[in-house]
Amino acid sequence: MGNPNILLTRIDNRLIHGQVGVTWVNHLGANLVVVANDKVASDEVQQNLMDMVLPDVIQTRYFTLQKTIDIIHKASPRQKIFLVVKDVQDALTLKEGGVPIDHLNVGNMHYEEGKKQISSTVSVDENDIEAFKKLDELGVELDVRGVPNEKGKNLLELL
């Protein structure tokens, strides 16, 4: 089993949308977007809506977290993977399950009751902060950035 060619892992609670589907995919040169999320893995309507955003030449896969952990190492070297997760807990589950995530782009985590806003697009609660600290301890670089041409900020410095 080889190391999968994961170009970037991004947290975005919207998963695939215009910004991810066009800007990030083009910037990275990805040819496969893998959405790792237990709920979306079984929601064909949501999958079809997300597929409509992407150019036809970009493939998508919608896997549960466990299936992602089980098969990511079987990816072909030709697959240039952009891995998208909904939240930091999903990212931590993947990392602890052996998915080689070295760099995590934190793009969008909506504000909701009980969360504090740390950037214009990222809000966190205590559980999120704890998960980010664990990822940091596991050697994952945490970068807050909406679009590729923005200067990234170290998430830990924003907490």
Task: Flag whether pLDDT at 151 surpasses 70.
Answer: yes
Q: How many CB atoms lie within 10 A of CB 15?
A: 24
What is the per-residue pLDDT for 19? Answer: 74
According to the model, what pLDDT value does residue 1 have?
Answer: 59
Q: What mean pLDDT, rounded, does the chain reach?
A: 95
| Structural domains of the chain sorted by starting position, each given as residue range(s) with its CATH number in brackets | 6-146 (3.40.35.10)
Look at residue 152 and give its three-state secondary structure.
coil
Q: Place 25 in a pLDDT band, splitting at 50, 70 and 90.
A: very high
- Show Cβ contacts of residue 56 under 8 Å, excluding neighbours closer than 6 positions: none
How many angstroms separate the CA atoms of 107 and 32, rounded?
Answer: 19
Quote the pTM value: 0.96
Q: Which two tokens stand for residue 33?
A: 């977007």
Show which residues are catalytic. 17
CA distance 24 to 4: 19
